[in-house]
Amino acid sequence: MKPIRVGICGLGTVGGGTFNVLTRNAEEIRRRIGREIIVEMIGARRPNPACDTSAVRTSKDVFDVARDPEVDVVVELIGGYDVARELVMTAIANGKHVVTANKALIALHGNEIFAAASVKGVSVCYEAGVAGGIPVIKAIREGLAGNRINTVAGIINGTGNFILTEMRDKARDFADVLVEAQKLGYAEADPTFDVEGIDAAHKLTILASIAFGSPLQFEKAYTEGISKICPDDVKYAEELGYRIKHLGIARRRENGIELRVHPTLIPEDRLIANVDGVMNAVMVDADAVGTTMYYGAGAGAEPTASAVVADIIDVARTFDSPASSVPGLGFVSDELLDLPVLPVEEIESAYYLRLDASDQPGVMTTITGVLSDAGINIEAILQKEVHAGEQVAHIIMLTHSVQESQMNRAIAAIEALDVVSGTVTRIRMDRLD
């Protein structure tokens, strides 16, 4: 059979890794699919010293690759939004299959991209965009395809998980660990994208669409970062038997879906609570199979390349019958349902609350009374001295599940109490059961 000819656009970390994996494992790959996959062309402004590309045609203009008649599959690894979008649309217009690791591109422009690909009868694959080398897109779109999926919850940003792990293991401050993460190359100079949850929201947006069969709705995702988490909260959570993780949660409700990224207390005996450092994991709860989890490296040159190459192999396996490939969002395009994303006020969650209150008789009764009046049940209470001799105590409460709007009202009422100083710290909690 004719080889599948790949054009790699972008030869940075992931592009270089992809080139090297395709080259090094060419024979293993040929044994798997019965035909060769060759790198036909590379589009990159600079060479990558980690790659010997001397035998490959190159261009400084990635659009040359997207238009090249000898290229079957365009691999978009330039990142960013606008140029990447134009590049992918050009490739599709030229009848090329597309493989990308660009979660932002898919989360923001995926609906348009999949529509164009559908018209041209080409595949757009993006396994590498979510949780790096973990084949979780495949697991959801194919492995769990017999299920009605209820919840997807994932640690899908390695930077954030590294920071929270260090904060817990070494009782360190957020700011302090962030500097270390930057030194280690785990966090960017401007870490906003990772620590404020935007990157995780891109990935969650994709996971939600393939889980529920709805269009991509990034702009509706609720996103909250980890920069406000204090060591005290990490410690108190621990004492109560919980870990704080930065989770992306997509959950099917009767009247729509929840789509939210925020720090979350989860019981320490859940397997996902023990996913530490830069590792990623995605938990899926579905009606037939129950809970499954997928764990691995969420970033890095070759882990990400592993997913890119798996996508290329998928394209190769269905190359002569593209109709048999899995649809972009895992559901046939005209079967996508416009499921509304619920506003954050309408989500349901249990909560961890921390507040400063006067350390005097009756205060606890007053505070718990406010929650009780709001119909909120308390699961656990912890009272901690802040500084010896001071008349202020940290009060920590875990509540049962309520609607966020209900909790907002209760928190406002607590903050209005004379005996309470400052604001109430609120971290959502999920039992994941």
Nearest 5 degrees, angle CA 313-CA 317-CA 322?
115
Window contacting a copy of itself (CB under 8 A); options: 38-46, 306-314, 375-383, 392-400: 306-314
Using CB under 8 A, which residues numbered 171 to 230 contact a copy of itself? 213
Answer yes or no whether residue 32 interacts with a copy of itself by CB under 8 A: yes
Answer yes or no whether residue 321 interacts with a copy of itself by CB under 8 A: yes
Site string for a copy of itself, 259-278 (x = CB under 8 A): ------------x--xx---
Answer yes or no whether residue 323 interacts with a copy of itself by CB under 8 A: yes
In terms of C-beta density within 10 A (0-12 exposed, 13-18 middle, 19 or more buried), how is residue 70 classed? Answer: exposed
Using CB under 8 A, which residues numbered 78 to 107 contact a copy of itself? none
Answer yes or no whether residue 142 interacts with a copy of itself by CB under 8 A: yes
| Segment holding 292, helix H or strand E | strand 290-297
Helix, coil or strand: residue 242: strand
19, 126, 236, 295: which one binds a copy of itself (CB under 8 A)? 295
In terms of C-beta density within 10 A (0-12 exposed, 13-18 middle, 19 or more buried), how is residue 90 classed? Answer: middle
CB contact at 8 A, 212 and 218: no
205, 303, 398, 402: which one binds a copy of itself (CB under 8 A)? 303
In terms of C-beta density within 10 A (0-12 exposed, 13-18 middle, 19 or more buried), how is residue 142 classed? Answer: middle
Nearer to a copy of itself by Cβ, of 43 and 133: the residue is: 133
Q: Which of 96, 103, 138, 203 is catalytic?
A: 203
Instruction: Respond yes or no: is residue 103 known to be catalytic.
Output: no
| Segment holding 295, helix H or strand E | strand 290-297
Helix, coil or strand: residue 49: coil
CB contact at 8 A, 124 and 100: yes
Least distance to a copy of itself, CB of residue 334, Å: 8
**Buried (b) or exposed (e) across 376-392, using 16+ Cβ within 10 A?**
beeeeeeeeeeeeeeeb
41, 62, 77, 293: which one binds a copy of itself (CB under 8 A)? 293
Least distance to a copy of itself, CB of residue 389, Å: 40
Residue 32: phi and psi, rounded to 5, are -75, -40
Answer yes or no whether residue 133 interacts with a copy of itself by CB under 8 A: yes
Total of residues contacting a copy of itself (CB under 8 A) = 69
Nearer to a copy of itself by Cβ, of 25 and 182: the residue is: 25
Nearer to a copy of itself by Cβ, of 27 and 82: the residue is: 27
Specify the length of the chain in residues.
Answer: 433
Window contacting a copy of itself (CB under 8 A); options: 58-66, 189-197, 241-249, 313-321: 313-321
Partnered with residue 397 across adjacent β-strands are 353, 381
Q: How many CA atoms lie within 13 A of 92 on its CB side?
A: 23
Answer yes or no whether residue 170 interacts with a copy of itself by CB under 8 A: no
Q: In terms of DSSP H, where are the helices of 228-300?
A: 231-239
Answer yes or no whether residue 282 interacts with a copy of itself by CB under 8 A: no
DSSP string, 352-383: EEEEEEE-STTHHHHHHHHHHHTT--EEEEEE
Q: How many CA atoms lie within 13 A of 183 on its CB side?
A: 6
Answer yes or no whether residue 46 interacts with a copy of itself by CB under 8 A: no
Nearer to a copy of itself by Cβ, of 100 and 425: the residue is: 100
Answer yes or no whether residue 309 interacts with a copy of itself by CB under 8 A: yes
12, 33, 90, 118: which one binds a copy of itself (CB under 8 A)? 33
Window contacting a copy of itself (CB under 8 A); options: 38-46, 91-99, 308-316, 398-406: 308-316
Residues designated catalytic: 203
User: Which residues in this chain contact a copy of itself in the complex, by CB under 8 A?
Assistant: 17, 21-22, 24-25, 28-34, 127, 133-135, 138-139, 141-148, 213, 271, 274-275, 286-297, 300, 302-303, 305-310, 312-314, 317-321, 323-327, 330-332, 335, 337
